[in-house]
Amino acid sequence: MELKLALVGFGGVNQGLVELLRKKRETLAGAGLDVLITMVADLRLGIATNPRGIALDVLDETARRGVDAMALRRDPGTLVSPDVNLDAVLKAIASEHVDVVIEATFTDPNTGEPALSHCRTALECGKHVITTNKGPIALAQQELARIATKSDACLMYEGTVMSGTPVLRQIATTLRGCDVNGFAGILNGTSNFVLGQVEAGANFDAAIREAQQRGYAEADPAADVNGSDVQLKVVILANTLWNAGLQRRDVHCRGIVGLTGEDVRVAAAEGMSWRLVGSAVRRPDGTVTASVEPRKLPASHPLRAASGVTNAIMFDTDVLGSVTISGPGAGRQETAFAILSDLIELVDRIAAAAPEVLE
């Protein structure tokens, strides 16, 4: 099956996807998938289009040059327009040369834009959407799902919660048959790293600077340390699990900014460790309560083992009891893998809906 991809945003995640597509050619061929990248839109590049596909080597060179369009302009059949305003991007998304939109732009978490407009337009045009953006899914998941159903398109967002560690797919596949009554997770690698460094003796400011130097934290780490990043992930998880209709305001949120070095060191002396935990519980009457807050965890707690930038989530199930999943919660290649896994599942869904497509 041939799928024509539009990469909206060409930062670390979609650059990592290009690398994976080059490395995994045989794996994709074995899954019956032939991928062409026919459009790339990025504020630094403009909009590059080629109905026959932009060469992966050219895209890789573009990334290595610091997202410079020179290599793209030399690629036969590729046209590059400097006009990269929202209307131009939406027009390119709607092109007949696009089957799947890979959305990985920088997005305002309060409005979901511009990713929300990208996703909405793509789905309205019958394009499948794969996104790693938390904003549009946390703020408008139900709306986007309705549009996808009406347009017979797929909306996929595995990478929005724990990067490449498969959480949403576990819910949909291996945990089928279980009732999940709650979850608690360490869902932000930056805050987890900072708390670990403080426990080891650093002060908070120095720990945040080191997280930034290592590429774990943004220049403005507010979303990590104030808990709002985890808040969005809790909304996505609760709504995916239970169709709860949660919004950000429904999730009480308190980050790690209120903790002091003394708090962390006293806890360590007691054999405890502070972790920023996002959680939700479904009550017997169907109501859902959710929160983000620092918690002191004993050594025996399943989430305590998540150190550094590792994420972990513990599901409370009726059949299996507590089930914990852990893995990398950040990283360019790790998040790109989530997109790759969504692409492979997309082929399976299309084939299941219309088996003759693969014949």
Q: Rounded to an integer, what distance in angstroms lies between the CA atom of residue 323 and that of residue 317?
A: 7
Q: Rounded to an integer, what distance in angstroms lies between the CA atom of residue 175 and that of residue 125?
A: 33
The confidence score (pLDDT) of residue 357 equals: 46
Q: Do 183 and 316 share a domain, yes or no?
A: yes
Q: Do 258 and 302 share a domain, yes or no?
A: yes
Q: Do 183 and 150 share a domain, yes or no?
A: no
Residue 162 pLDDT class (50, 70, 90 cuts): very high
Q: Do 143 and 284 share a domain, yes or no?
A: no
Q: Do 97 and 21 share a domain, yes or no?
A: yes
Q: Do 323 and 268 share a domain, yes or no?
A: yes
Q: Do 142 and 14 share a domain, yes or no?
A: yes
The confidence score (pLDDT) of residue 356 equals: 52
Q: Which residue(s) pair with 310 in the sheet?
A: 328
Residue 95 has phi, psi (to 5 degrees) of -60, 150
CB 20 within 8 A of CB 59: no
Is residue 271 classed as helix, strand or coil in its secondary structure?
Answer: coil
* Residue 40: inside a domain: yes
What type of residue sits at position 20? L
Q: Do 61 and 38 share a domain, yes or no?
A: yes
Q: Which is more confident, 5 or 212?
A: 5
> pLDDT digits over 314-325, tens only?
999 999 999 999
Task: Over range 167-177, report the average pLDDT.
Answer: 91
Q: Is 268 exposed, middle or buried (0-12, 13-18, 19+ CB in 10 A)?
A: middle
Closest to 260 (Cα-Cα) out of 221, 202, 219, 299: 202
Q: For the chain, give the percent of residues with pLDDT over 70.
A: 99
At residue 218, does pLDDT exceed 90?
no
Quickly tell me which residue has 């839109």 as its tokens. 41
At residue 202, does pLDDT exceed 80?
yes
CB 284 within 8 A of CB 182: no
Print the domain residue range for 246: 177-328
> pLDDT digits over 32-63, tens only?
889 999 999 999 999 999 999 999 999 999 99
What type of residue sits at position 262? E
CATH code at 113?
A: 3.40.50.720
* Residue 168: inside a domain: no
Q: Which residue(s) pair with 192 in the sheet?
A: none
Average pLDDT for the chain: 93
Quickly tell me which residue has 């009457």 as its tokens. 285
* Residue 171: inside a domain: no
Closest to 111 (Cα-Cα) out of 130, 88, 86, 92: 86
Q: Do 10 and 145 share a domain, yes or no?
A: yes
* Residue 110: inside a domain: yes
Residue 200 pLDDT class (50, 70, 90 cuts): very high
Entry pTM: 0.93
Q: Is 12 exposed, middle or buried (0-12, 13-18, 19+ CB in 10 A)?
A: middle
The total domain count for the chain is 2
* Residue 169: inside a domain: no
What type of residue sits at position 357? V
At residue 327, does pLDDT exceed 90?
yes
The confidence score (pLDDT) of residue 91 equals: 97
Each residue of 285-311: b (16+ CB within 10 Å) or e? eeebbbbbbbbbbeeebebeebeebbb
The confidence score (pLDDT) of residue 355 equals: 58
At residue 253, does pLDDT exceed 60?
yes
Contacts of 341 (CB under 8 A, 6+ apart): 158, 164, 166, 169
> pLDDT digits over 123-141, tens only?
999 999 999 999 999 999 9
Q: Do 214 and 316 share a domain, yes or no?
A: yes
Q: Are strands 272-282 and 310-317 parallel, antiparallel or unpaired?
A: unpaired
Q: Rounded to an integer, what distance in angstroms lies between the CA atom of residue 159 and that of residue 335?
A: 6
- The token pair at 60 is 């890789």
Q: Rounded to an integer, what distance in angstroms lies between the CA atom of residue 256 and that of residue 274?
A: 9
Q: For the chain, give the percent of residues with pLDDT over 90.
A: 83
Q: Do 107 and 78 share a domain, yes or no?
A: yes
Q: Do 23 and 150 share a domain, yes or no?
A: yes
CB 4 within 8 A of CB 38: yes
* Residue 37: inside a domain: yes
Listed range (63-67, 158-162, 181-185, 354-358) with the worst mean pLDDT = 354-358
Q: Rounded to an integer, what distance in angstroms lies between the CA atom of residue 156 and that of residue 130?
A: 5
At residue 237, does pLDDT exceed 70?
yes
